[in-house]
Structure 1
């Protein structure tokens, strides 16, 4: 492994303790700003946590391309370098910023490692629960706690359509496509959205829901989580069925607990 994954996991935890949690429910109005729209937010916690993580990653992976959500907001050309980078570390310092800014305890810190164009590690740290969900390619997915305790994760078994439930974000589907999607989702037992891919990937990998569905593909939101789900036994692909690669930013993503469920959702929900 070209990056020390446990060292990276600890960096995420320390960033949360130093820069994120002290600001939770304590943000001033001047510490929250809108980016592309009113619900697309950045806070002082996002920016300071990413600065901390970037500086620490440089100590043990100095040759890695660092792709952070806030770094890309400042320099969009960084994304163009991902496809050709031999080694990259991708970070979302606060995934679920809308929730964080609203005082809702559903957010996370995400990181992934990409080597020669392939995701080889993913980490999702939950600051509220003080634990990680993580995976290395070929090594399974685990819930790990600071005391060293580790539990192997496994996705759920297939269910009939009417008993299936999961997480679906319709925010980036538009017009007739959005209307059709929401109509088809009514066939399921239920669906919801936490507005936080960190928490949604965690519960899918842990066997608590059957799928997650997105139409916006930014690498900090999906590279680590999709690898974790696959290592837990799930099936992940773009909406057209093609493989998802870290440098692809269009095409939507469906991650399901197994291939049978993926195929059923593709047929019945996506059409």
Structure 2
């Protein structure tokens, strides 16, 4: 499938935003340049807002009819998110995924964009400003690591292994305290369960065959649309906790990704059931 918007052009826009707005401010943020949103671990920086403004302006140039959904735009106008489900064409953007890491001076953050057409994610890109490369997928065309020199490498998820040998990432911060204790206890059944606090790099690592699973509780579209499509195009099985497909308008219900459905079922039953 070819996206309704040139995903290569979107990839270049994310790179431009990183070079002009994100990287110059990395480890150069002043005290007033970092602000708390909902809680101490939910931050926004001047770089997030400046990068989103640039991306929005460039997307308007290449796709003037597309609805633009950005994390910071929705923070300013929460009602904007409600328009995604009915949009004929939308671009969903996270200007800096991993803002907590970015604000702390840790080089683990990314820039993400997804193209949604009539309620379906049809393309996604995750750009790594530090590595200057992209992971890109269009529905039905596979997932690819695209380097700045023009070379490309097709991505594939790693085959499943036994439960006790599984390595993955799990975000448990949005469970209730009671359920968090249950899930974190269950995670002792796998070999390693960690969190990068950056979905962009978690999805990149998973699609590249370095993790066996990913689990998320809160499903904001800018965090997961691009990564889920990329993972699926790399061969992963992805579904919400009740087994239903993950769609662009979903913001809850949990999300679990694994190499195949059998592994997904084992993880859901043995680790993430509460």
Q: TM-score, normalised by structure 1?
A: 0.99
Please state how far the C-alpha of 1:60 moved relative to its aligned partner: 0.6
Partners of 2:160 and 2:14 lie apart in 1 by 33
Structure 2 counterpart SS, 1:92: strand
Correspondence for 1:161 among 160, 163, 168: 163
Structure 1 counterpart SS, 2:204: helix
Tell me the residue number matched to 1:256: 258
Tell me the residue number matched to 1:190: 192
Partners of 2:41 and 2:178 lie apart in 1 by 22
Correspondence for 1:146 among 145, 148, 151: 148
* Structure 2: segments with no counterpart, 5+ residues: none
Partners of 1:164 and 1:85 lie apart in 2 by 38
Please state how far the C-alpha of 1:175 moved relative to its aligned partner: 2.2
* Structure 1: segments with no counterpart, 5+ residues: none
Structure 2 counterpart SS, 1:158: coil
Q: Deviations over 1:232-253 (max 9, x none)?
A: 0001101111110001111111
CA contact (8 A) 1:207 1:257 kept: no
Tell me the residue number matched to 1:77: 79
Structure 2 counterpart SS, 1:209: coil
Tell me the residue number matched to 1:227: 229
CA contact (8 A) 1:201 1:225 kept: yes
Partners of 1:2 and 1:188 lie apart in 2 by 40
Q: TM-score, normalised by structure 2?
A: 0.98
Which segment drifts farther, 171-180 or 20-29? 171-180
Tell me the residue number matched to 1:134: 136
Tell me the residue number matched to 1:247: 249
How large is the RMSD of aligned CA atoms in angstroms?
0.6
CA contact (8 A) 1:124 1:132 kept: yes
1:174 aligns with 2:166: no
Q: Deviations over 1:17-72 (max 9, x none)?
A: 00000000110000000000011000000000000000000001000000000000
Tell me the residue number matched to 1:50: 52
Q: Deviations over 1:75-115 (max 9, x none)?
A: 11111100000000000000000000000111000000000
Please state how far the C-alpha of 1:176 moved relative to its aligned partner: 1.7
Tell me the residue number matched to 2:267: 265
Please state how far the C-alpha of 1:260 moved relative to its aligned partner: 2.1
1:124 aligns with 2:126: yes
Matching of residues 198-209 of structure 1 within 5 Å: 198-209=200-211
Tell me the residue number matched to 1:213: 215
Tell me the residue number matched to 1:101: 103
CA contact (8 A) 1:204 1:257 kept: no
Partners of 1:19 and 1:184 lie apart in 2 by 41
